[in-house]
Chain A
């Protein structure tokens, strides 16, 4: 496998797509030399991907039946990036409340979890047209 590459996927933002995409992503990142033997990091990347895709399906497109999501998995020499683009509703991640872990809830953990396991969480609306979410995990030196 090449050390640097980009994989692009265009899919409907529907929960039924979650498993096949997640399984593909897991198998892909398991093969990266940077994560060889790092089961916990692979688990965490799978978790971040699952949470991000689920949020787009549930929240970005909540007022519509469905919409597209573009996914880019970019592996560079020193980091891995998941980039999601959707045309659904924009939100302000800074206004999402941190969960109170002393009072277990039935939801609201997704963004918090992503931030726990990834090195960078970057969200913005590009040209008022599409929402972009960039999740970055740097490889350990």
Chain B
């Protein structure tokens, strides 16, 4: 998991697997960021081949933490497995999902 800044947007790049081994780390990272300032966050899943319910739960928790602090979050580049899981759990209706990070970052600037 890696945190970067791109054009004023925070990007968190997730690893190949997004499961219980990393879910708490993401939640803690986003909570800390959200409490410091109002942030626009992209979760980059382009390298993530596999996500499970722990990963999904961490994404929901992250979105809630951001909204509570007037921030926002988008998800970029999910794999076919991630897309299927979002569909099955109906999280595709909750998350704003973009094809890649650049599209996600541009969509923030278009919304402001």
Cβ-based interface call for B85 (8 A) = yes
With a CB–CB cut-off of 8 A, which chain B residues contact A99?
89
Which residues from 96 to 141 on chain A have a C-beta closer than 8 Å to any C-beta of chain B?
Answer: 99, 101-102, 104-107, 109-110, 113, 116
Chain A residues with a Cβ closer than 8 Å to the other chain, count: 26
Complex interface: chain A residues within 8 A of B21 (CB): 15-16, 18-19
Tally B residues with Cβ within 8 Å of A.
23
Given A19-B19, A43-B50, A51-B53, answer yes or no on A116-B60 (Cβ-Cβ < 8 Å).
no
Contacts A104-B94, A109-B56 given; does A58 touch B50 at CB 8 Å: no
Are the C-beta atoms of A104 and B50 separated by less than 8 Å? no
Chain A residues within CB distance 8 Å of chain B: 15-16, 18-19, 22, 39-40, 43, 46-47, 50-51, 54, 57-58, 99, 101-102, 104-107, 109-110, 113, 116
8 further interface pairs, Cβ-Cβ under 8 Å (given A47-B81, A106-B57): A15-B20, A47-B50, A101-B90, A105-B57, A106-B58, A107-B53, A110-B53, A113-B53
